[in-house]
Chains A and B, each alone.
Chain A
């Protein structure tokens, strides 16, 4: 069945770059997503990438997709303390529900 794996924790210093990694198993995934969840809050869609793309950049966020290895990464440039949160990788095919990883907790220290 489908599975999405993420490392559980990442700790960085303010101003550094953060890279959060994700692997997935469903080769028929059409879209891959990154969601952010702050304490006590719901999920906020950060960005998504279509499976025929290799890279997508949106301000401080860069998403890289290696479809051959089924590997997705999210790079946050100039990480700020406000970026501290849990980041979820998710995938789906068009029209189907999202399948999420367990989330990566990003801790940013000043």
Chain B
């Protein structure tokens, strides 16, 4: 079974530029999550989707971050404009349905803002 796919793996941008990350969850997984992991910390939820609807985006900095999952499968996370403090690993995860307790993570997209 293919895992959660993310791209790009690595990205370096200058502050105030924009960046987009893509995620393709495990086939059949209805729930998709984006987490932000700053170096030395645990991952923190940015947004949770159920199919193509948003379940929780309370911690998403909406002035600069946006995410969509238009067809309920793959998802894009965008940052515009980027700040230095956005340097982090952006992890996508998926689960079969919200009530399932097995959540699978991709390898992450590493962002450095200079």
Contacts and interface: CB of A to CB of B under 8 A. Distances in A.
Interface residues of B, number: 22
Nearest to A43: B105
B107 A31 contact: no
Interface in A59-91: 88, 90
B98 interface: yes
Interface in B24-70: 33, 40-45, 48, 56
A55 interface: no
B41 A102 contact: yes
A45 B98 contact: no
Interface of B: 4, 33, 40-45, 48, 56, 91, 93, 98-99, 101-108
A48 B43 CA distance: 17
What's the interface size class on A, roughly? 20 to 34
B40, B99, B103, B106 — most chain A CB neighbours (10 Å): B103
B105 A42 contact: yes
A98 B107 contact: no
A99 to B, nearest CB: 8
Contacts of B98: 94-96
Contacts of B104: 45
Contacts of B41: 102-103
A94 B4 CA distance: 21
Contact of B42 (A45, A96, A101): A101
Contact of A97 (B40, B56, B106): B56
B101 A42 contact: no
A41 B108 CA distance: 7
Contacts of A90: 42
A41 B6 CA distance: 12
A24 interface: no
